């Protein structure tokens, strides 16, 4: 079994959301561990959120399960039902198909680090309940930037 050393996995910063929706996530850092190991059926990432940074816009998935486990620091889980403080050792899970918009925010004064895992489905689509944004199928074939749309179906960047 090949070992994956997180110190050698490239870190990407920010998000692929169209402006201005990318702003709360601009300082987010992601290490794609499963991709570094050549895995394609599910994703496992280490995410670092500096103070004031969000993991994503609040969203839900039609087909993909998601799981987050806090490694260090604390984050606020924001869902349709309200807010929950998660600290190191806490976890949360969202089954695919449940339209419960969710994301994590770092409202503390130090970095928060969490592991996130999720299934990957070419059939997956979802929405961002707080903003005029949705994503369509084909995220893994064409990349996220290629599938963002307004809720009325118009593509971003081609207005």
The domain limits of the chain are 12-125
Residue ranges with strand state E in the chain = 11-13, 29-32, 42-49, 66-72, 74-79, 82-87, 91-94, 102-105, 112-119, 126-128, 133-135, 148-149
Per-residue model confidence (pLDDT) at position 140: 58
3 state SS of 140: helix
Which value, to the nearest 10 degrees, does the dihedral of the CA atoms of residues 87, 88, 89, 90 take?
A: 30
Beta bridge partners, 98, equal: none
* Rounded-to-integer distance, Cα 35 and Cα 41, Å: 10
- Topology annotation, domain 12-125: Jelly Rolls (2.60.120)
Q: Is 159 exposed, middle or buried (0-12, 13-18, 19+ CB in 10 A)?
A: exposed
Residue-level pLDDT, tens digit, the chain, 159 residues: 589 998 999 999 999 899 999 999 999 999 999 999 999 899 999 999 999 999 999 999 999 999 999 999 999 999 999 999 999 999 999 999 999 999 999 999 999 999 999 998 888 899 999 999 998 876 655 554 457 889 998 888 754
Return the closest-CA partner of residue 90 out of 115, 61, 119.
Answer: 115
* Rounded-to-integer distance, Cα 106 and Cα 28, Å: 10
| Bond prior to 20 in cis (omega within 30° of 0) | yes
Q: Is the pTM of this model over 0.85?
A: yes
Q: Is 112 exposed, middle or buried (0-12, 13-18, 19+ CB in 10 A)?
A: buried
3 state SS of 32: strand
* Rounded-to-integer distance, Cα 25 and Cα 2, Å: 31
Per-residue model confidence (pLDDT) at position 55: 98
């Amino acid at each position: 079994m090949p070992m994956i050393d997180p110190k050698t996995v490239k870190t990407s910063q920010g998000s692929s959301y169209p402006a201005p929706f990318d702003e709360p996530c601009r300082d987010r850092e992601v290490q794609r561990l499963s991709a570094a190991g050549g895995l394609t059926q599910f994703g496992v990432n280490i995410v670092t959120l500096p103070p004031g940074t969000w993991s994503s816009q609040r969203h839900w998935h039609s087909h993909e399960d998601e799981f987050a486990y806090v490694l260090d620091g604390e984050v606020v889980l924001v869902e349709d039902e309200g807010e929950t403080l998660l600290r190191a050792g806490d976890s949360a899970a969202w089954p695919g198909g449940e339209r419960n918009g969710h994301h994590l925010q770092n409202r503390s004064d130090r970095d928060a680090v969490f592991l996130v895992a999720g299934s990957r489905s070419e059939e997956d689509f979802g929405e961002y309940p707080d903003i005029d944004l949705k994503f369509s199928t084909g995220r893994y074939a064409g990349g996220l930037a290629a599938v963002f749309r307004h809720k009325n179906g118009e593509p971003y960047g081609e207005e």
